[in-house]
Amino acid sequence: MSASGPSRRARDIGLDVRAPRTSCDDRHCPFHGRLPVRGQVLEGTVVSVAMQRTAVVERTLLTYVPKFERYEKRRRRYLAHSPPCLGVPAGHRVRIAETRPLSKLVTFCIVEDLGEAAHRAAGEEAAPVSEVAPPKPEAA
């Protein structure tokens, strides 16, 4: 069997992630191209895939504010390269890994599709239903 064409086996990228089922010929794919991933590995939700092979990934985190002894919710958006073999749609949770700068703003690459963002990690986004219940109508 020849190793050419889009049927190449996924490379081991050194992270504990599921390799994509399909292949691709993207040279910026960590699995099938030559892109090394190293550094931070983050989790987030894809909010937009309108760009070509680039996705907007949003991450929310809780930061402790000592003055108020409470946590504030912060969020940050990352532009991440989205390899065609993963084909991640908007709304999915993804794992992104740091890589060399691929463009002015893209320094991360999606390395794993974690499925639809229905089951979010604890403390992230989506307030409990009881908190967003509509206020009761007041008697006139």
- Binding residue count for Zn ion, defined by CB under 5 A: 6
CB of 63 to Zn ion, least distance (A): 35
CB of 131 to Zn ion, least distance (A): 41
Per CB under 5 A, 85 contacts Zn ion? yes
CB of 40 to Zn ion, least distance (A): 21
Per CB under 5 A, 79 contacts Zn ion? no
What distance in Å separates the CA atoms of residue 36 and residue 55, rounded to the nearest whole number? 18
Per CB under 5 A, 117 contacts Zn ion? no
What distance in Å separates the CA atoms of residue 28 and residue 39, rounded to the nearest whole number? 17
Which of 55, 53, 50 has its CA nearest to residue 29?
53
CA 56, distance to chain mean position in Å, is: 8
Per CB under 5 A, 83 contacts Zn ion? yes
CB of 69 to Zn ion, least distance (A): 46
How many of the other CB atoms lie within 10 Å of CB of 6? 12
Within 22-61, the residues that bind Zn ion by CB under 5 A are: 24, 29, 31-32
Instruction: State the alpha helices, DSSP H only, in 38-131.
Output: none
- Of 21 and 122, nearer to Zn ion (C-beta) is 21
- Of 24 and 109, nearer to Zn ion (C-beta) is 24
- Whole-number Cα distances in Å, 104 to 78, 79, 80, 113: 12, 10, 11, 24
Interface positions with Zn ion (CB under 5 A): 24, 29, 31-32, 83, 85
